Chains A and B, each alone.
Chain A
Amino acid sequence: MSTISLPQSSYIRDNSRTFIDWLKSWLLTVDHKRIAILYLLSINFFFLLGGLAATLVRVELITPQGDLMSSDVYNRAFTLHGVIMVFFFLIPSIPAVLGNFLVPLMIGARDLAFPRLNLLSWYLYMIGGIFALIAAVFGGVDTGWTFYTPFTSTYSNSNVVMSITGVFIMGFSSILTGLNFIATIHKMRAPGLTWFRLPLFIWANYATSIIQILATPVLGIALLLVIVERVWGVGIYDPALGGDPLLFQHLFWFYSHPAVYIMILPAMGVISELISTFSRKRIFGYEFIAFSSIAIAILGFLVWGHHMFVSSQSVYAGLIFSFITMLVAIPSAIKVFNWTATLYKGSISYRTPMLYALGFIGLFVIGGLTGIFLGVTAVDLHVTDTYFVVAHFHYVMVGGTIMAYLGGIHFWWPKMTGRMYNEIWGSIAALIIFVGFNMTFFPQFILGYLGMPRRYHVYPPEFQILHVMSTAGASILAIGFIVPLIYLAISLRKGAIAGDNPWGATGLEWKTSSPPPTFNFDKTPIVTEEAYAYPPEAAERDAASWRPGSPL
């Protein structure tokens, strides 16, 4: 419990003598915390790679002519960006890194239910990633991350099979993570930890896991059929052979719309934790937030058709999909209102994780509301396949998921490493990201509304000013992503010793040492109270004892 030095033994330390032993102890580990670290490193690697591809795209778009690359190369650049960011960063990000690390800790278990399966899922992720990388190195793919047929199945002559195989394998990694979480959350909770005492992060991951095991196999089969069609020259999606290219879109979006909730639900879970901790208040409407996660998971399966309003699906199907799309907004809004109500009269401290959380709320509201615009068929017909859609999903995916991911990394950094990051640099980076993000993507709403189609590298000169703004913002954003890499790395050696509970937060993960021992708890905890049991007067006491110079 000392705050002067790190604990003698923890999951990070081991007594391997040689480098090979040390390497083995990491690559063959079944400890959920170590696997989380493996995921952290590999996922961030892919994030940087995807960012590099995005840089290419943004640089090309500075001028209206296609001067840096041909349209063919441009197609490959944005496909690389999309495939990597969606399948190899956003989908695994929060569940595989933070979820892996925290689910057992938060429920007071020694590990996940199936530790070896967990390791396997990391290897599958890596194998899938290597396939995707090989596809990129040997010429890339030009189909867009959506792999639409008949382009993928018949016309494209890029490395479609290779990258689809990569995504297919990654899918199994995602399924295994979900399966593991479900069994763990059901069966491994500490004594006294009832469902309604669970942290909301657990609820969010539970809902995510359900989507992962139900939706991912459908993507798998859709992609498998593309491979079969390409390799054997048979026509399952090829209209010339009686196939139906729209079948692919249905199967693809049956996965990929729920998949956007795979990306956002865990993020919402993180935000619930952050908001409550840094307001020093009980979360407002716990049950509503918990059940809205489940509602989102269920409704998310019923709205895939809103990606296909212009695909010749029947008008009535369009209407129904449009209506259910509106319904999804309700649970999303419930969460936002509950977070805001939690803030109300809280003792809010603007530490770095909280900055990300507040940023999340603002940006997610914009992203979600524009989603509703898109869900209205009449509006969608005008802006579909324009930059408006691009801006919408970046607001939810970057403004939502990445903000929460970064906020979560900062929040649990002391738990993962035992040391604090530099608070000043942390806040600066969070602000840079917020500014850079809005500058990058807000102009894209306007661009799209004015009619700039997505996926083109040549555009009419009158759009240039907005594109230049967007690229400028992207450069700021890039700086904002690099700065944390530096100060987080420095903190590993130089950071102040954090102690068990630097934030004064509730939750079982803060009851053990930082970094935690291999089996998490010396003694199995028994839970006797609800989550977020900040005493009612905590916020007021904090406010009263505030003095100039005390931490924000």
Chain B
Amino acid sequence: MATITHEEAHVHAHGPELQHQFETPEQQKEAATLGMWAFLVTEIMLFGGIFMAYIVYRWAFPEAWEESAALLNTPLATVNTVVLLVSSLTVALAVNAAEEGNKRRLLTMLALTMLLGLTFLVIKGYEYSEKFAHCAGAKDPISWITGSDLHESHECLVPGRGFLFPEEHGATGGSHGAAHTASMQSGHQLFFLLYFCATGLHAIHMIIGLGVMSAITIMALRDRFSPTYFTPVEIGGLYWHLIDIIWVFLFPLFYLV
């Protein structure tokens, strides 16, 4: 059994960012990247459970799916899709800037990315509040908040006791008419339940992603990166791409069925 000493292994100079358990910066970077990929696999399996539920219920209630999807706000979601795709681009540019050691461009790109992420959340929040406003009998979130123009609600797409699928859209009527085919009207409810769960979980990831990006921005401000060391930007970018990709699946599955 031969041995080499730590001193020998550590001959070449490296920055303070090399953690004690690693021999070389390359090893550290590879480990971090591999760890992140493994984590992404986990995330995909997490959403996989919801997709499984989606498949089962879509197969069970094809009409309900079609009728329900029509009631989602597709134009807004399309805008959101574009927003996210652009943010994917800005993240990629941020990684590129970090690689070149261009701090100003890195910071700009990170800021842009976060701005786009925030825009996504605001639009998503508006979409959600639209649904809640309808339950409260308001036309849109604004009149819900100001309390003007309230009327008897005839549509409530938030799953729960008050769920009410509008008559004119479904052949089978709202949840009050439990007398007629129970399973049909609950198909609509399941659609919206899965919609809220999936997009909600996605939004939580987006919030975490914003946190990650802020942390990276702070590190960049403190000059923690160099062309030889920018692993956090890279793996943060991977995470951001994951968020985008999940949305790219959610969007057609819920809005475009």
Chain A nearest CB from B21 CB (Å) reads 4
Chain B nearest CB from A216 CB (Å) reads 7
Q: Which residues of A have CB within 8 Å of B47?
A: 221
Stretch at the interface among A140-148, A240-248, A402-410, A454-462: A240-248
- Check A220–B46 contact: CB distance below 8 A: yes
Chain A nearest CB from B144 CB (Å) reads 20
Closest to A183 in B: B35
- Check A109–B21 contact: CB distance below 8 A: yes
- Check B182–A242 contact: CB distance below 8 A: yes
Q: Which residues of B have CB within 8 Å of A217?
A: 42-43, 45-46, 48-49
Q: Which residues of A have CB within 8 Å of B185?
A: 242
Closest to B26 in A: A187
- Check B160–A113 contact: CB distance below 8 A: no
Flag whether B102 is at the interface (Cβ < 8 A).
no
Q: Which residues of A have CB within 8 Å of B163?
A: 234
**Chain B contact residue count (CB 8 A cutoff):** 49
Q: Which residues of B have CB within 8 Å of A40?
A: none
Assembled-state Cα–Cα distance A250/B48 (Å): 13
Flag whether A110 is at the interface (Cβ < 8 A).
yes
Q: Which residues of B have CB within 8 Å of A111?
A: 20-21
Assembled-state Cα–Cα distance A59/B69 (Å): 56
- Check B4–A524 contact: CB distance below 8 A: yes
* Contact among B3, B6, B31 with A183 in the assembled complex (CB-CB below 8 Å): B31
* Contact among B34, B159, B190 with A187 in the assembled complex (CB-CB below 8 Å): B34
Q: With A179-B42, A242-B186, A244-B56 known to touch, is A528 a contact of B1 (CB < 8 Å)?
A: yes
- Check A235–B190 contact: CB distance below 8 A: yes
Assembled-state Cα–Cα distance A240/B119 (Å): 39
- Check B21–A110 contact: CB distance below 8 A: yes
- Check A234–B49 contact: CB distance below 8 A: no
The binding surface of chain A is classed by DSSP as helix
Chain A nearest CB from B83 CB (Å) reads 26
Q: With A111-B21, A523-B5 known to touch, is A183 a contact of B186 (CB < 8 Å)?
A: no
Flag whether A175 is at the interface (Cβ < 8 A).
yes
Assembled-state Cα–Cα distance A218/B43 (Å): 10
- Check B23–A250 contact: CB distance below 8 A: no
- Check A242–B190 contact: CB distance below 8 A: yes
Assembled-state Cα–Cα distance A102/B163 (Å): 54
Q: Which residues of B have CB within 8 Å of A257?
A: none
Q: Which residues of A have CB within 8 Å of B82?
A: none
Flag whether A222 is at the interface (Cβ < 8 A).
yes
Q: With A228-B197, A232-B159 known to touch, is A179 a contact of B38 (CB < 8 Å)?
A: yes
Flag whether B218 is at the interface (Cβ < 8 A).
no
Once A and B bind, how many residue pairs between them come within 8 Å at the CB atom? Answer: 148
The B-contacting residues of A in range 178-204, CB under 8 angstroms, are 178-180, 182-184, 186-188, 191
Closest to A234 in B: B159
* Contact among B43, B45, B160, B183 with A233 in the assembled complex (CB-CB below 8 Å): B160
Assembled-state Cα–Cα distance A114/B2 (Å): 27
Interface centre among B6, B60, B163 (most CB of A within 10 A): B6
Flag whether B76 is at the interface (Cβ < 8 A).
no
- Check A213–B190 contact: CB distance below 8 A: no
Q: With A111-B20, A228-B197, A242-B187 known to touch, is A213 a contact of B161 (CB < 8 Å)?
A: no
Assembled-state Cα–Cα distance A522/B3 (Å): 9
Assembled-state Cα–Cα distance A524/B11 (Å): 14
Flag whether B78 is at the interface (Cβ < 8 A).
no
- Check A524–B9 contact: CB distance below 8 A: yes
Flag whether B132 is at the interface (Cβ < 8 A).
no
- Check B39–A524 contact: CB distance below 8 A: no
- Check A179–B20 contact: CB distance below 8 A: no
The A-contacting residues of B in range 161-183, CB under 8 angstroms, are 161, 163, 182-183
Flag whether A84 is at the interface (Cβ < 8 A).
no
Flag whether A350 is at the interface (Cβ < 8 A).
no
Q: With A217-B43, A235-B189 known to touch, is A250 a contact of B31 (CB < 8 Å)?
A: no
- Check B1–A188 contact: CB distance below 8 A: no
- Check A526–B46 contact: CB distance below 8 A: no
Chain A nearest CB from B246 CB (Å) reads 13
Chain B nearest CB from A345 CB (Å) reads 27
Flag whether B221 is at the interface (Cβ < 8 A).
no
Flag whether A525 is at the interface (Cβ < 8 A).
yes
Chain A 513-537: CB-based contact to B (< 8 A → 1; otherwise 0): 0000001011111111000000000
- Check B6–A523 contact: CB distance below 8 A: yes
The A-contacting residues of B in range 36-74, CB under 8 angstroms, are 38-39, 41-43, 45-50, 52-53, 56-57, 60-61
- Check A519–B20 contact: CB distance below 8 A: yes
The B-contacting residues of A in range 56-98, CB under 8 angstroms, are none
Chain A 105-123: CB-based contact to B (< 8 A → 1; otherwise 0): 0000111111101000000
Closest to B193 in A: A234
Flag whether B30 is at the interface (Cβ < 8 A).
yes
- Check A187–B3 contact: CB distance below 8 A: no
Residues of A within 8 A of B (CB): 104, 109-115, 117, 175, 178-180, 182-184, 186-188, 191, 213-218, 220-222, 224-225, 228, 232-236, 240-244, 247, 250-251, 511, 519, 521-528
Residues of B within 8 A of A (CB): 1-6, 9, 19-23, 27, 30-32, 34-35, 38-39, 41-43, 45-50, 52-53, 56-57, 60-61, 159-161, 163, 182-183, 185-187, 189-190, 193-194, 197
Mind listing 16 A-B residue pairs with CB under 8 Å?
Answer: A111-B21, A187-B27, A187-B30, A187-B31, A218-B46, A221-B48, A221-B49, A225-B197, A228-B193, A234-B193, A236-B194, A242-B57, A519-B20, A522-B6, A524-B5, A526-B2
**With A183-B32, A241-B190, A242-B61 already in contact, 18 other A-B pairs whose C-beta atoms are closer than 8 Å:** A111-B21, A117-B35, A178-B38, A179-B38, A187-B27, A188-B31, A214-B42, A225-B53, A234-B189, A235-B189, A235-B193, A244-B60, A247-B52, A247-B53, A250-B52, A251-B52, A524-B5, A524-B6
